[in-house]
Amino acid sequence: MDGAGRQLVVSDASPYLVAPEDLGTLLPGEPGFRADQLRDWLYRSPVLTAEEMTNLPASTREAIGASLWPFEVEVDQSADNGRTRKWLFRAPDGAAIETVLMGYRKRTTICISSQVGCAMRCTFCATGQFGFDRHLEAGEIVAQVAYANAFLRRFPISGSPERVTNVVYMGMGEPLANYERVRESLRRLIDVAGLSARSITVSTVGVVPGIRRLADEPWPVYLAVSLHGADDETRSRLVPLNDRYPLEAVIEAAEAYFASKGRRLSIEWTLIDGANDSDDQARRLAAIAKRLRAHVNVIALNPTPLSADRPSDSDRIHGFVETLIANGANATLRETRGQEIDAACGQLRLRSVTE
């Protein structure tokens, strides 16, 4: 009961699992502005504990209490001199959720998960090796961003913006295979939390119907397409989904996205020794990138214990990027962050499972 004798029924479930417009249902008898205040704390100015929601009555803060977050922080690691932070969150049902926060000079970027595990089974990926557990709820997806903002408020990354400026859906899972919940998470991040759509990137390994649906949404988010192979044979070996949605279908869907949004596409390419690091692949990839007017992000494989795939050596990595550029592609060799903390998607979870 609160001081006025009203029953507070903030449920055991986290308020992030309730749609922002329905937060009033958690506060029956409270004036409408209380729900607005709670929504602001959750989405606009997140804090680590309900106690810090200073304009809410003490009884409400107490009722939200321990259930503020839809997960517990099981692992909290930092690397790269504190510029990279990696969390393994644990939901009440045991689901493990990985999130990585990276501080740069002008950006603070968060890489969020959209599923627990992944059904896509890309051969080189730690997440893919464990298969699919479940979809993340929209609230579990946005809570990763909110938690990072609450954390940054107390523990900023030196020399980086003190709020998340960029969100990439590149953690565990295939976002477009969890379309409705990912869509709702985008709505909350953009329309409720106030993030610019231009600061959000949705990454896909090539779920063609999802790319086409996303093209019809109102938000001009960036699309990143993970190709990893520049012909069907090479790609199918690394990305089994290619058998369902072959390269040309993925390229055509990406072209349609570009036509709809006018947003520059990016192509993600994990470079794997002997699998996709030849100059021939680089030339074919350059042709695709030019056709899509896309920027290519090349990243060296972060090897995982359960896969024989290994990263290309440094000479080959640079040779591959040089061939791409010599053939007219815009390409960047992406820095690999947090290798000492298993920061490739799914590696922390993999470790927690195997240990």
Q: Find, among 247, 212, 227, 193, the residue nearest to 297 by Cα.
A: 227
Using alpha carbons only, what angle is made at residue 223 by residues 271 and 139, rounded to the nearest 5 degrees?
105
The reply to whether 173 sits near ligand SF4 by the rule CB under 6 A is yes
98 counts as catalytic: yes
Backbone dihedral angles phi then psi of residue 293, each to the nearest 5 degrees = 50, 40
Q: Is the distance from CB of 270 to CB of 314 less than 8 angstroms?
A: no
Of 30, 133, 137, 174, the one binding ligand SF4 (CB under 6 A) is 174
The reply to whether 99 sits near ligand SF4 by the rule CB under 6 A is no
Contacts of 144 (CB under 8 A, 6+ apart): 87, 89, 97, 99, 110, 112, 113
345 counts as catalytic: yes
Which one of 137, 322, 345, 355 is the catalytic residue?
345
The tokens for 42 are: 């959750």
| Closest CB to ligand SF4 among residues 42, 120 | 120
Of 164, 200, 296, 345, the one binding ligand SF4 (CB under 6 A) is 345
The reply to whether 127 sits near ligand SF4 by the rule CB under 6 A is yes
The mark string for 198-237 relative to ligand SF4 (x by CB under 6 A, - otherwise) is: -------x--------------------------------
The reply to whether 118 sits near ligand SF4 by the rule CB under 6 A is yes
Largest CA distance in the chain: 74
The reply to whether 120 sits near ligand SF4 by the rule CB under 6 A is yes
Q: Find, among 242, 30, 13, 28, the residue nearest to 143 by Cα.
A: 13
The reply to whether 30 sits near ligand SF4 by the rule CB under 6 A is no
Distances (CA, A) of 341 to 12, 105, 131, 309, 353: 32, 21, 22, 19, 15
Of 64, 172, 189, 343, the one binding ligand SF4 (CB under 6 A) is 172
The reply to whether 299 sits near ligand SF4 by the rule CB under 6 A is no
Which one of 30, 51, 98, 335 is the catalytic residue?
98
Positions touching ligand SF4 (CB under 6 A) are: 118, 120-122, 125, 127-128, 172-174, 205, 345
